[in-house]
Structure 1
Amino acid sequence: MAKQALIVIDIQNDYFANGKWPLVGVEAAADNAARLIQAFRQNAEPVVHIRHEFTSDSAPFFTPGSEGAHLHAKVLNRADEPVVLKHFVNAFRETELHAILQERGIEELVIVGNMSHMCVEGAARAAADLGYPVQVIHDACATLDLEFNGQRVPAAQVQSTVMSALAFAYASVLSTEEFLSA
C-alpha cells in the first residue's frame, strides 16, 4: 500500500460564523475533517496542515497575524504535524509542501478543507500534476455562494461543479464514510 498523507487546507477561523468570510456548511465539513485527522493519527499516518495568510492588511480575510488567520480549534495541529504557510491559492506554490511530502516518502494525498472552488481545487490539480494520486473528501470541504455574469450560484452548485470536475480527471472524490470504511 502506498504511503499517504492527509492535507488539511485552510480550515481557519475567518471561514466560520464569526469570521470575515463565512462559508456554507463549514461546521459539518470541519467536523468531518476532524474525524479524518483522528483516523490518520490513529494509523500513524502523516497529517499536514495548510494555513493561508495574505501579505496585506487590506486583504478581505486572513490578514497577517489576525485571529481569523489562525487554524480553527476543531483541526489544530499536533507538535509533530507541520503547518505550511501559503500566500497563494495553490498550496504547492512557493511553499515547502512538496519537499515535506518527498522527505516523508508520501506517494498519495487525501485532501480536505476550504474553499472547495479555490484552494482545495488548486491543491488537488497541482498535486495530480506533480504525479500524486489524489483523493478529495467532498463532505470535509466547504465553499460559499458565488456570482457569475449577474447570476447567484448557490454553494451546493459550486460544490457539485468543483467536485465533478475534479472527479473527471484529477482525483477520486469520496465522502468521509466511504473513505473511512475503505
Structure 2
Amino acid sequence: MTTLPRRALIVIDVQNEYVSGNLPIGYPDIDCSLAKVGHAMDAARAAGIPVVVVQHGTPPGTPIFARGSHGWELHPVVASRPRDHLVQKEKASAFEGTDLEAWLRERGIGTVTVAGYMTHNCVDTTVKHALLLGLAAEVLADATGSPSYANRAGAASARQIHESFMVVMQSGFANVMATQEWVAALQGAPLPERGSIFASSQAARATARLQPA
C-alpha cells in the first residue's frame, strides 16, 4: 500500500451564501461539488484523516457572509458531518488571523488537502499561504467552484475562472485531482503526478505546434 504523508482535509467556506445566497457558485454544478465535498469528508473520516471546517464571516449588515445570517451558516452537507476542528476566519486565507497553522503543526501534518469555495479566492489564497508555511497542498478540483464575474476590467464565466485557476495551481502550487482520485489514493492507489511551471509551459507549446496554421 502507498504510504502517504500526514495530511488534513481543509473544507473551506461551504456556506449557504454560495448555494442559496447572494454569491451562487456557477461552475462546477453546485449540487455536484457539494456531493464531492461530502464524499471527501466521509473518506477522510474513514481513513483517520482529520477534517478542518472553515467558516468565513463579515460584520452584521454586510451583503455577504454577515455573521448570524442564513448565508453565513454552514451548509448542511458540512454541518451534518463530524469535524475535528472549526476555524472562523475574516480574510481569504484560512491561515490569516486563525489558529490553523498551530493546530496542524501540533499534529505533525505536512500536507493540506483543500476543498470548498471559492476556487479563485479563499481556496487559491489558502493554498499559496500553505506553501509559504512549508506545507504541501492538494486541491480537489470537483469539490470546489467559482461564480461568474463582470467588472470594469472585463468579464469571465464561472467555468473560465475555475478551470484557469485549476491549471495554474497544477503548474506547481498544488497537486490538483478529482475527489475520487484522492479517495483512491487513501485506499492505496498512486497519487496523480504533481505538475510544474516548466512542464505546463512545454505541454502548452507542444499543443500549439500541433494546431493547424
TM-score normalised by length of structure 2: 0.80
* 1:58 to partner: Cα distance: 3.4
Judge which range, 79-88 or 117-126, deviates more.
79-88
Aligned residues: 180
* 1:175 to partner: Cα distance: 0.8
CA 1:23–1:165: 2 relative to 1, 3 Å:
same
**1:64 aligned residue (55, 67, 70):** 67
Partner of 2:183: 180
Q: Runs of at least 4 residues of structure 1 off by over 4 A?
A: 77-80
The answer on 1:33 being equivalent to 2:37 is yes
**1:92 aligned residue (87, 92, 95):** 95
CA 1:97–1:78: 2 relative to 1, 3 Å:
same
Does the 8 A contact of 1:52 with 1:86 survive in 2? yes
Question: Which residues of structure 1 form unaligned runs of 5+?
Answer: none
Does the 8 A contact of 2:60 with 2:68 survive in 1? no
* 1:99 to partner: Cα distance: 0.8
Tell me which amino acid in the other structure corresponds to 2:25.
L
Tell me which amino acid in the other structure corresponds to 2:74.
L
RMSD over aligned Cα, in angstroms?
1.5
Distance 1:3 1:40 in 2: 12
Matches within 5 A, 1:1-182: 1-16=4-19, 18-24=20-26, 25-54=29-58, 56-76=59-79, 81-149=84-152, 151-182=154-185
* CA deviation profile, 1:88-130 (whole Å, cap 9, x unmatched): 0111001011011111111111000001110000101101111
* 1:149 to partner: Cα distance: 4.0
Q: Flag the structure with larger Rg.
A: 2
Judge which range, 89-98 or 71-80, deviates more.
71-80
Partner of 2:206: none
Distance 2:153 2:184 in 1: 42
Q: Percent identity?
A: 32
* 1:59 to partner: Cα distance: 2.1
Question: Which residues of structure 2 form unaligned runs of 5+?
Answer: 186-213
